[in-house]
A and B are shown apart, each in its own frame.
Chain A
Amino acid sequence: MRPRQVALHAALSLGGLAMLFPFVWMLLTSFKGVRQMLNNPLDWLPHPWRWENYPDALGAMPFGTAYWNSFYIAVLNVTLTLLTSAMAAYAFARIRFRGSGALFVVFLATQMVPAQVTVVPLYLMLARFGWIDSHLSLIVPTIANPFAVFLLRQFIRAVPVELEEAARIDGASRWRCFWHVVLPNIRPGLGALGIIAFLASWNAFFFPLIFLNSPELATVPLLLSQFSGQRTAVDYGLILAASAIAVVPTLIAFLVGQRKIINSMAASGLGGR
């Protein structure tokens, strides 16, 4: 290897270590006891290894319920987002109707509005619906997703029109074309968007914090955030065990679909935020 390559690899590895460090440190510390933490934080390896931190963390809070809540909310979010945004994307990409261009611009413009601006009225409205302290508040409003419509429209435009025209000449309706011709051809786009939507739903914090009160309704990040109030208790091992438990599903989802996720987030430039 040329010296330049060696230098670049060295610099990138160093940076990579800095990225990895908090994760490794979290994992190691999650096996430490309180006394070891307080005596010397520079003691890297736990001694003794306190495996009990994990069952203790699981026992301290209703993690099982929170996992199920986060999981089923994310699955519903993904399903609803994929279906409704693919439908809208199909209309924008394939159907000529009056005002199509203007409506699309309005769609894109709504993305500029920060969630904080609409959160108070949204809360009041959901309270009127009786959806506060109910998972409906985290599922139904998230259907509105202009980013997803934009992303899928790009994918649909790349599907050859001829495929659909052939089906239409054979008498297929718009819906059949959408369902049987277009959707199977944008599977990669649906997959990428599905993972982005899953991560966004799983990691969401702001809305669950405001819309949910009951402990049994809490999602994983919400439950986890309750550990942060215990700063003075300094049972860091327990807190970090809880974090490790919470992080695992997203890390698995990421490692499985990393190429898709990275590429589609790079292409969209916005991620799921």
Chain B
Amino acid sequence: MTVLTRARPRTVHRARSVRNRDGWWAAFFLAPQVAALLVFLAFPLGFAVVLAFMRWDGLGQKEWVGFDNFAAQLSDPEFGLAVWNTVKLALLTVPFGLGLALLIAVALNNVKGGGFYRVLYFLPVVTSSVAVALMWQIILAGDDYGVLNASLERWFGISAPDWLGGPGWVIVAVAVVTIWSSLGLNVVIFLAGLQTIPPQIVEAARMDGAGSLRIFRSVTLPLLSPTIFFSTVVAVISSFQAFDQIYVLVDPADNEGARTIVYQVYELGFKDFRFGMSSAAALILLVLTLLVTLVQFAAQKRLVHYDS
């Protein structure tokens, strides 16, 4: 008994010192990442918010202008065009891109030896976006020397528009390139989701006499809905941030049809050196992203099926 009572304080003391030492170890292990996050992410984010309320060209005096930058952007028809183009791009890439990826993933899931296709569809994902845009720029070129328009002319007698030349079709062309280059990633994400669906459930539905379409609608889609939801959120966010392919395919400086919010941020900041204005535009993009994500999460409650 006496031995035990004497032993206890010592173990308590030891446990505390281990925890203290662990605290120092945790700090040591976390230090590089936390420092980098603070310096290169948290601080610039705070700075961006402050800048958005200032007028500053980087050299002269900073001037506090309140909400002027936001008001100027929101009433500028050019910014309105950028918002509209951004939304159009999302409306084209997200439903069509994910729908196509879902079809391919379901097909791959039902086929034997699909590994080869998986690699094929994934190839553009790992290819430099600049190289992808250069390839497509030449395929889509107007004036009959683009291979697409020449083929349409010769085989179908269609005289196609100059996809990249004017404001009319640019967003569609950008959407096609974006869908092509991100398809593989969405396919493998959907495929991973499909492979978690227990075959017994599908078998049971089949025994009850359900056809393929019925199984897809009543079994596959609900069970895959968390994956679809997640991919939709990611796809919307990344379509809002599309830059590389747009910048290379069609410099939006020459073609206002390709002007997006991100391009606006780039131009205001790094061509016009209106840092406050650029930050305001970027914050509007951030708010728009958060709003859309919130709406998606609200919709998720009704549409997404989670195992309980």
Residues 167 to 213 of chain B near chain A (Cβ within 8 Å): 180, 183-185, 188-189, 191-192
B44 proximal to A (CB < 8 A): yes
A19-B183, A117-B285 given; A12·B104 CB < 8 A: yes
Question: Taking the complex as formed, is A163 at the interface, i.e. its CB lies under 8 A from any CB of chain B?
Answer: no
Contact B33 A85 (CB under 8 A): yes
Q: How far does the alpha carbon of A206 sit from the alpha carbon of B237 in the complex, in Å?
A: 16
- Write out the residue numbers on chain A whose beta carbons fall within 8 Å of the beta carbon of B282: 114, 116-117, 119-120
Chain A 147-203 residues near chain B, CB threshold 8 A:
149, 174-175, 178, 199, 202-203
Q: Given A12-B108, A96-B22, A224-B128, A88 and B123 touching (CB < 8 A)?
A: no
Residues of B within 8 A of A33 (CB): none
Q: How far is the CB of B279 from chain A (nearest CB, A)?
A: 5
The number of chain A residues touching the other chain, given as a range, is: 35 or more
Q: Does B125 contact A (CB under 8 A)?
A: yes
- A41 in contact with B131 given A119-B282, A123-B270, A206-B243 (CB within 8 Å): no
Interface of B is mostly: helix
Interface size range on B against A: 35 or more
Q: Known interface pairs A42-B154, A113-B286, A250-B128. Does A97 touch B26 (Cβ–Cβ under 8 Å)?
A: yes
The reply to whether B33 and A16 contact each other, CB–CB distance below 8 Å, is no
Tell whether, in the assembled complex, residue A203 and residue B129 are in contact, meaning their CB atoms are under 8 Å apart: yes
B262, A116: Cβ atoms closer than 8 Å: yes
In the complex, chain B residues whose CB is within 8 Å of the CB of A202: 128
Interface set, chain A 34-51, CB cutoff 8 A to B: 37-38, 40-42
Interface residues of B in 27-61 (CB under 8 A from A): 28-30, 32-34, 36-37, 39-45, 47-48, 51, 58
Residue of B whose beta carbon sits closest to that of A144:
B36
Chain A residues, CB < 8 A from B131 = 221, 224, 243, 246-247
Q: Within residues 196 to 248 of chain A, which ones have a CB less than 8 A from any CB in chain B?
A: 199, 202-203, 205-206, 209-210, 220-222, 224-225, 227-229, 231, 234, 236, 239-240, 242-243, 246-247
Chain A residues lying within 8 Å of B266, measured Cβ to Cβ, are 116, 210
A88 contacts B33, C-beta separation under 8 Å: yes
B122 CB within 8 Å of chain A: yes
In the complex with contacts A5-B112, A119-B282, A143-B33 CB distance below 8 A: yes
CB pair A227–B134 under 8 Å, yes or no, is yes
B145 at interface by CB-CB < 8 Å: yes
- B126 interface hit (Cβ, 8 Å): yes
CA distance A192 to B288 in the complex (A): 33
Stretch at the interface among B5-13, B70-78, B113-121, B214-222: B113-121
How distant is the Cα of A20 from the Cα of B120 in the complex, in angstroms? Answer: 7
Do the beta carbons of B48 and A120 come within 8 Å of each other? yes
Indicate if B291 sits at the interface (CB-CB under 8 A): no
Check A266 against B192 for contact (C-beta < 8 Å).
yes
A262:B118 contact, CB within 8 angstroms: yes
> Contact: A15 with B248, CB < 8 Å?
no
Contact in complex: A124, B58 (CB < 8 Å)? yes
Contact A121:B44 (CB < 8 A) given known A41-B146, A141-B36, A250-B128: yes
A60 at the interface (CB under 8 A from B): no
**Is B225 in contact with chain A by the CB < 8 A criterion?**
no
Residue pair B150, A110 in contact (C-beta under 8 Å): no
Known A-B contacts A113-B45, A122-B40, A146-B37; A19 and B118 likewise in contact (beta carbons under 8 Å): no
19 example contacts (A-B, Cβ-Cβ < 8 A) are as follows A11-B107, A20-B123, A22-B136, A25-B139, A95-B25, A116-B262, A117-B282, A120-B282, A122-B44, A143-B40, A203-B129, A206-B243, A224-B134, A228-B134, A236-B138, A243-B134, A258-B119, A262-B122, A266-B188
